[in-house]
Structure 1
Amino acid sequence: MTNKRTWAPGVAGGGLAMLLALTACGDAGNGEDDNGGELAGETFTVGSKEFTESYVLGYISALLLEDAGAETVDQTGISGTATVRAALESEEIDLYWDYTGTGWVDILGNTTEDLPDDLYQAVAEADEENGIAWLEPANFENTYRIATTESFASEQGLSTMTEAADYINENPDENGLCAASEFINRDDGLPGLEEAYDVDFDAVELDLNLIYPQVGDSCEFGEVFSTDARIEANDLIVLDDDQDFFVPYEGALTLRQETLDEHPAIEELHQPVSEALTDEVVMELNGRVDTGGEDPRDVAEDWLMEQGFID
């Protein structure tokens, strides 16, 4: 697929616009003008959060839109849920991928207790009042987990979070947890985890990309994402969340309802792609970026072409 990429125009507005300009990648991809796609003549600004999976998902959406004839402006790499969500609500971006657990707790302000039986439906219905649509979730779940090195887990006999909590309570000097700022501060992250397992961690705040190699060095434990290929690459073992604290995090595209109403083709384009995005597929795509050093847009394009979703 041939694709032109140009520098995106500056984002208008106040402090949020400046933050977007600092945190987001500033280039745009343009769909072919002559492909006669159902979105020809339209332009969409595609956002993402700042971690690998979010970049890949953002580029998957951008490439689908471009293949349907649209032009896209690249605003991937926005730091933090609050910022990217504010960008969506204020029309700085038109769409981005988020997670049902994040929507339920971090965006809608619910707790991790008494989860509804159908979390996606509950999130979609509640956020509808805010004018935000959640497309049907993809076939993967990327939830928070706590990991440690295989050697440390073997030496101390740790396989579950309860066993880790018991060990830390007996060895309080070995409670270091490498984690990103967002996990440290959100209710479905460290505060809730400590309460659920009656344990205190000594949080070492790091950039998301630095956590994996630092487990076993700067800290005994680390925050990880369940679909991250760096778990295996860094010889880590994920501890079983035996108290079922962590909320389900199904990936889903979010956009303003008015955008979806005006362009229902967006949902039609994403539906088969979402079905094909399994845990195994997403972990492989993440690994090609994080351990293989490939560009996330290239990874997204290769996969979409291999699956026949774009030409």
Structure 2
Amino acid sequence: MSTINRSRRVAALGTLAALTLGATACGSSGGNPLDGGSSASAATGGAGGSGSTVVVGSANFPENVLLGSIYSQALKAKGVKVQEKFNIGSREVLYGQLQSGNLTVLPEYNGSLLAYLDAKSTAVTTQDVNAELAKTLPATLGILESSPAEDKDSLSVTQETADKDNLKTIADLAAKAGEYTIGGPPEFKSRREQQLKDVYGLTFKEWKPTGDATANALKDGSIQVGNVFTTDPKIVQYKLVPLADPKNIFGAQNVTPLVNKAGVDATATAALNAVSAKLDTAGLVALMKRVSVDKEDPSAVAKDWLKSNGLG
């Protein structure tokens, strides 16, 4: 969501220099496009009104392709005419195509989208981020309901460490941080060390740059706390525990449909909101394991998820 790590997502969805949330999120799949979604040429003009074609796009990394396929198939299940245009590229390109009407729907991450539109925003909760997006987006674009699923930074530990030291939240680390080595991308220390001290009172024994090998370093015991991202399939593989963040130092990154309003009617809106209501982080991690680790076709994984949730 690391890798879709935020370094990946920022690269894939646009260079967000003002993002303070770390080099992020999850998924061990890097930024390489998948072949799983069917590609289609861009629609010409807006896709407005009942009976028109809704064009579902995605960025060029596996999690976003999977989400695009979920959206596409959910719409088709409700009789909406759909065209898929996956693996497009950066947020700058995607956003421009949505504004022009060449795309109708995109799976977005609300916090990253807000940072792209307003680098000075300090909103961190889902409610505040979405309220600011509603004010910041142009009148032609809008967000639908956000899902509980988030692809964001976390501090994670092994299940063994969580059980041994009774760790459930980042705050619980305060009593043990002095004994722990923490790992993450090289920039994680400079971006987060002072904040973790100020907000949670954490002073770690050592900071170790582990980059994309953070989850592996947790597994082999060379670190005890790691900046693993919340949809990284290795969370499932290695039975890692992302600690809750009650003080919201890692802002909201909810999977959220971004739409060209003229292109979605009540049927399409209801179908996409129904997806958001069912999609949570644990479920998305499990789906990403199938795509990135087990190498299953994302469209087939999306179809299974929709069927199991009564949406396909």
| TM range, smaller chain | 0.5 to 0.7
Are 2:224 and 1:214 aligned? no
Superposed CA offset, 1:22-64 (max 9, x none): 9544663469xxxxxx876736251136353x33212112334
1:90-101 aligned at under 5 Å gives the runs 90-91=96-97, 94=103, 95-101=105-111
The amino acid across from 2:119 in the alignment is: G
Matches within 5 A, 1:151-162: 151-153=160-162, 158-162=167-171
Q: Which residue of 2 aligns with 1:175?
A: 181
Paired position in structure 2 for 1:145: 154
2:261 maps to which residue? Answer: 260
Structure 1 residue 215 displacement after superposition: 2.0
Spell out the pairing of 1:7-86 with structure 2 (5 A cutoff).
Answer: 23-25=32-34, 28-29=38-39, 42=53, 44=55, 46-48=57-59, 50=61, 52=63, 54-65=64-75, 68-75=80-87, 78=89, 83=90, 85-86=91-92
In structure 2, the partner of 1:299 is 301
* 2:145 equivalent in structure 1: 136
Counterpart-to-counterpart distance in 2, 1:297 and 1:186: 39
1:108 is matched by which residue type in structure 2? D
CA spacing shift, 1:136–1:231, aligned 2, 3 Å: same
Q: Which of 127, 136, 139 is the equivalent residue of 1:127?
A: 136
Q: Corresponding residue for 1:237? A: 241
Which secondary structure state, in structure 2, belongs to the residue aligned with residue 28 of structure 1?
coil
**How many angstroms does 1:91 deviate by?**
1.4
Q: Is the CA contact 1:144–1:226 (under 8 Å) kept in the aligned structure 2?
A: yes
On the 8 A contact 2:143/2:256 being kept in 1, the answer is yes
Q: 2:112 aligns with which of 85, 102, 109?
A: 102
- TM-aligned CA distance change 1:58 to 1:246, over 3 Å: same
Normalising by structure 2, report the TM-score.
0.64
Kindly state the Cα deviation for residue 306 of structure 1 after the two structures are TM-superposed. Answer: 4.4
Given residue 69 of structure 2, which amino acid in structure 1 is its aligned partner?
Y
Deviation at 1:190, TM superposition (A): 7.1
**1:69 Cα shift?**
2.5
Q: How many positions carry a matched residue from both structures?
A: 264
Separation in 1 of the partners of 2:219 and 2:132? 37
> Residues 231-279 of structure 1: CA distance to partner in whole angstroms, max 9, x if unpaired?
2430322334354423233321113xxx321443542431222223245
More strand by proportion, 1 or 2? 1
Task: Decide whether the 8 Å contact of 1:178 with 1:215 is kept in 2.
Answer: no
- Amino acid of the structure 1 residue aligned with 2:218: V
Unpaired runs of 5+ residues, structure 2, are: 1-13, 15-30, 42-48
TM-score by length of 1: 0.65
Cα distance, 1:238–1:268 mapped onto 2, change above 3 Å = closer
Structure-1 residue corresponding to 2:93:
87
C-alpha contact 2:75 2:268 (8 A) present in aligned 1: yes
Secondary structure of 2:256's counterpart equals: strand
Label 1:88 to 1:56 Cα distance change in 2 as closer, same or farther (>3 A).
Answer: same
Distance (Å, rounded) in 2 between the aligned partners of 1:45 and 1:103: 17
Q: 1:204 to 1:131 in 2, by over 3 A?
A: farther
Tell me the secondary structure at the aligned position of residue 131 of structure 2: helix
Q: Report the RMSD for the aligned CA atoms in angstroms.
A: 4.1
Supply the distance in 1 between the matched residues of 2:226 and 2:244 (Cα, whole angstroms). Answer: 13
Gaps of 5+ in 1: 1-15, 17-21, 32-37
Which string of whole-angstrom CA distances, capped at 9 and with x for unpartnered residues, describes residues 86-112 of structure 1? 122221873422233334446532455
Contact 2:125/2:252, CA 8 A, preserved across alignment: no
Shift of 1:122: 1.3
Give the aligned partner of residue 4 of structure 1: none
Change (3 A) 1:59 1:132: same
Give distance in 2, aligned partners of 1:269 and 1:153: 38
Which amino acid is 2:71 matched to? S
What does residue 205 of structure 1 align with? 211
1:300 Cα deviation after fit:
0.3
